[in-house]
Amino acid sequence: MNRAVTLDDLILAGIAVAAGLVAAFLSRTLLRWLAKHAKRTRWSGDDVIVDALRTVVPWAAIAGGAASAAAVLPLTRTVQHHVNQTLSVLLIFVATLSAARVITGLVQTVTQSRSGVAGSATIFVNITRILVLAIGFLVVLQTLGISIAPLLTALGVGGLAVALALQDTLANLFAGVHILASRTVQPGDYIRLSTGEEGYVEDINWRQTTVRQLSNNLVVIPNGQLAKTNMTNFTRPEQQLTVLVQVGVGYDSDLEHVERVTKEVVAEVMQEITGAVPDHEPAVRFHTFGDSRIGFTVILGVGEFSDQYRIKHEFIKRLHRRYREEGIRIPAPTRTVALQQGSATIPQQRGGGDDVGVGSAVAG
């Protein structure tokens, strides 16, 4: 159009812009009301969708009002094209960010709702976000009239060089995907590597796995190294595990009495100590005629790996006290030492004559 702008044109354009702003305000108010009701539902996916719509819908209303105002004004074809193109790019940009938020939020919601999938592993969320943003970027280029075919060709040709340059990074990326897909390790599991590192898995991202030790220190392990090394997972196939405590009593002890008293202490600990397994059946297994004692193993049930220290602590204290009350003797190891004047038997005590000799192991 080549005619001059009139007052009627400005009034109509102002009405179009005002209508877009009013629509944006009303839609945001409505979506805020919907967000309050969405929080009352069990599914957290509706919260993610409504939160994203609170960003997209108002901007879409504003862009629609601006586009209507531009259509009313007597603009030249070139200016009209640039205005529409700018508004389209703005709307695609907002829609892409919102779509990335919605899709990544839904992915995280689905993974958190399934026990066999990594709920807090960010690798899936990051990959999904990058894919959505990349698609949005290509749509923006296509909207601006830039052909994406040469770009895709260049990416295909340069992909080999990038793969060679980033082979370690890509190896860690695919190793992380393999670890999560095979379900051998998930965030929250307690693991121990053959190299000595152990702790709770905090997160698995595109490059590394973060493990929190019981001392609250963080150990960062590349995914490639985690996939190659031997590993013990103390959380799978189930979180509960058994702890073996080694005990010894004197040869003059009544083993039936020892077994009964020990089982009573185990049952007491299982019922009263936090982290124990109340329905665990007490088990005592005699196994060795030692130099100064008869050795046996006590099997304790614990809810998870870190509970074993508290449970063993309470079990040893209570067992030691109960053995004193029952007159059950825990002999100290003795050693015969040859002297010049003859020979003598010298008792070598380890932590006191009445202490329980303990060597423990964990069985998943």
pLDDT in tens, 10-24: 787 788 778 878 888
Cross-strand partners of 300? 243
With a cut of 60, say whether residue 6 has pLDDT above it: yes
| Lowest-pLDDT range of 2-6, 97-101, 148-152, 263-267 | 2-6
- Residues 42 and 40: their CA atoms lie apart, in Å, by 7
pTM for the whole structure: 0.55
With a cut of 90, say whether residue 249 has pLDDT above it: yes
Instruction: Among 37-41, 169-173, 183-187, 209-213, name the most confident range.
Output: 209-213
Q: Who wins on pLDDT, 142 or 361? A: 142
What are the DSSP E strand ranges found in 179-264?
190-193, 198-204, 208-212, 218-222, 231-233, 241-249
Give residue 237's pLDDT: 83
Give residue 20's pLDDT: 79
Please answer whether residues 210 and 197 qualify as being in contact, where contact means their C-beta atoms are separated by less than 8 angstroms: no
Which residues lie below 8 Å from residue 134, measured CB to CB, with a gap of 6+? Answer: none
| Lowest-pLDDT range of 111-120, 195-204, 220-229 | 111-120
Tens of pLDDT, residues 323-362? 999 999 988 776 666 555 545 555 554 444 444 554 555 5
Q: What is the mean pLDDT of residues 198-216?
A: 87
Nearest to 189 by CA among 211, 173, 160: 211
Kindly report the average pLDDT of the chain as a whole number: 78
- Percentage of residues in the chain having pLDDT higher than 70: 78
Q: Who wins on pLDDT, 160 or 52? A: 52
Q: Who wins on pLDDT, 279 or 62? A: 279
Q: What is the mean pLDDT of residues 245-267?
A: 93
- Residues 18 and 10: their CA atoms lie apart, in Å, by 12
Please answer whether residues 98 and 55 qualify as being in contact, where contact means their C-beta atoms are separated by less than 8 angstroms: yes
For 269, the 3-state DSSP assignment is: helix
